[in-house]
Structure 1
């Protein structure tokens, strides 16, 4: 379990940029490249379940949830389990905050190809 100060610092570093804003489009090519580089595509596909849910399923589940970007960013960084079944999502501690923001924003937008 993380201490509250660390969680607050991580959230402020992740959630405090315009990348979370709905009117700030994320370049699909950039997000896809980051996802591939960080092994996201080994467990997730855009439109179908692999080991984990598809990016489109994630977008649908969290549609309209204002807290989703920060919560999902923490899940990418720290890993998680139980939301989509018994298989845990591994942590990605080496992934930088900007890359996490880009991928999470793209996923929550429905992982568009353009």
Structure 2
């Protein structure tokens, strides 16, 4: 019982650090150039994106593709007329990095 409690506390206390690291990764990959966490900017907020994908079992995989390929992953604009640039116009994002960012976005 004590071990389970200790593990629960350890895991819970590490979650904010992981979230901060993933937010930093999103900053490093220039996601914040167009997106913000809550209000919409030049692009939809991460919170709005999270709400849009809520309940979709393929959300993480689709976001990973969009993060890596931009609007080309969805064959064109996916939020009104705005297009998300591909990796020719911004820093390269690996599959693993895109997965981290997608999980962070979905947790907003």
TM-score (norm 1): 0.70
1:56 maps to 2:47: yes
Please state how far the C-alpha of 1:87 moved relative to its aligned partner: 1.5
SS of 2:48's partner is helix
Task: Give the corresponding residue for 2:77.
Answer: 82
Aligned residue among 29, 39, 44 for 1:38: 29
Unaligned runs of 5+ in 2: 1-14
Unaligned runs of 5+ in 1: 1-23
Point out the structure with max Rg over C-alpha: 2
Whether the aligned pair in 1 keeps the contact of 2:70 and 2:85 (CA below 8 Å) is: yes
Where is the helix percentage greater, Structure 1 or Structure 2? 2
Shift in alpha-carbon separation, 1:48–1:79, aligned structure 2, 3 A: same
Please state how far the C-alpha of 1:27 moved relative to its aligned partner: 1.4
Flag the structure with more relative contact order, 1 or 2, with Cα contacts below 8 A and sequence separation at least 6. Answer: 1
